[in-house]
Amino acid sequence: MEKNDHQIAQVSNALIESRHELTTLQKKIMLFLISRVSKSDKPFQQYSLKISEFADTSNVVSPQLYSRIKQSTAELLMKVYEIQETDGILQVGMLSSAKYLDGKGTVQIRFDPALMPYILALKERFTFVPLRHVLGFRSIHSIRVYEMLRQFRGPGYFVISIYDLKYRLCVENKYVKYAAFKKYVLLQAQKELKGTDCEFTFEEFKKGRRVDRIKFSIVSPKKIELSKKETKLLNKLVKEYQLTLPQARKIILHLSPTIIQQTLYEIQTAKVNNVIKTNLGAFTVGVFKKKFEWLYEN
């Protein structure tokens, strides 16, 4: 599978649960880079971030985008994750280097080698984070809440104390009063996640007069609204390629239309060349499974 086919970041749960303070742009850069990682990569692997591709994928529009990204990567060189390990807290840098190639619109980036075991998720639990939604969010807190919800999409809910949630988000001193925290973090995240695969409701639990804990509950992903373009492609997968509706939705919700069309072209070519020995639906699912293993692993 080509790394550039990734529309998803495989993120260690330790990183999702870690304390780290990033801007929205910095967080999007990190997730975009993580989506390029393969399990066979080495600790000093170099990754390319093509600024035009990042802009298209993340819906970032700015005449100063190049300079904003350059400033962001410079700051990421000094940012750290605080990860709770079994024997203590690990403070580890995010990036070790970023080189901007003249006239290429490309940045060559390396993660901190000590962070790579978590990026590669070789020994840790991990969560698939589709870029389809998160790169379009405006709030860094919405991205963090989305990651947490994705982590618990199995049971469909999770409970966290206000103290722990504020600590993870690095806002314990910014939103001292719960009313402000609710308005600018919880309700903003709820607004941005509406229509995604992690749309949620939340319930407040009090200790005395103060809200002490929050229970997040994920709304059924069946309520995700597709765009006209996605709906047309969904119907094409069902009617022309004989997929079931759940099979088609899985593909639509996790892959970009461009990647899907490229894959369908390969399938159509195989059909014309009489390569297909099974029914078209089974063959189509097989091709997507082979190209996008992660889509069917979790």
Compute the distance between CA of residue 1 and CA of residue 21 in angstroms, rounded to an integer.
32
- What are the two backbone dihedrals, phi and then psi, of residue 173, each rounded to the nearest 5 degrees? -100, -10
**Fold identical between 1-130 and 137-224?**
yes
Structure tokens at 239: 């009617």
CATH number given to 1-130: 1.10.10.10
pLDDT (tens digit per residue) in 195-209? 888 899 999 999 999
- Among the residue ranges 54-63, 91-100, 106-115, the one predicted with the least confidence is 54-63
Compute the distance between CA of residue 190 and CA of residue 177 in angstroms, rounded to an integer.
19
Burial class (CB in 10 A: 0-12, 13-18, 19+), 209: exposed
**How do strand 126-130 and strand 80-85 relate by DSSP bridges?**
unpaired
Separation of CA 76 from chain center: 18
**How do strand 95-101 and strand 8-12 relate by DSSP bridges?**
unpaired
Answer yes or no: CATH 1.10.10.10 is held by domain 137-224. Answer: yes
pLDDT (tens digit per residue) in 23-39? 999 999 999 998 888 77
- What are the two backbone dihedrals, phi and then psi, of residue 188, each rounded to the nearest 5 degrees? -65, -45
Per-residue pLDDT at 122 exceeds 70: no
Domain-wise residue ranges, the chain: 1-130, 137-224, 228-296
Evaluate if pTM is beyond 0.85: no
pLDDT (tens digit per residue) in 238-273? 999 999 998 998 888 777 777 788 889 999 999 888
Q: Give residue 5's pLDDT.
A: 43
User: What residue has token string 């970032």?
Assistant: 60
Per-residue pLDDT at 178 exceeds 80: yes
Per-residue pLDDT at 298 exceeds 70: no
With helix as H, strand as E and coil as C, how does 95-151 read? Answer: EEEEEEECCCCEEEEEECHHHHHHHHCCCCCEEEEEHHHHCCCCCHHHHHHHHHHHH
Q: Give residue 73's pLDDT.
A: 95
- What are the two backbone dihedrals, phi and then psi, of residue 102, each rounded to the nearest 5 degrees? -60, 125
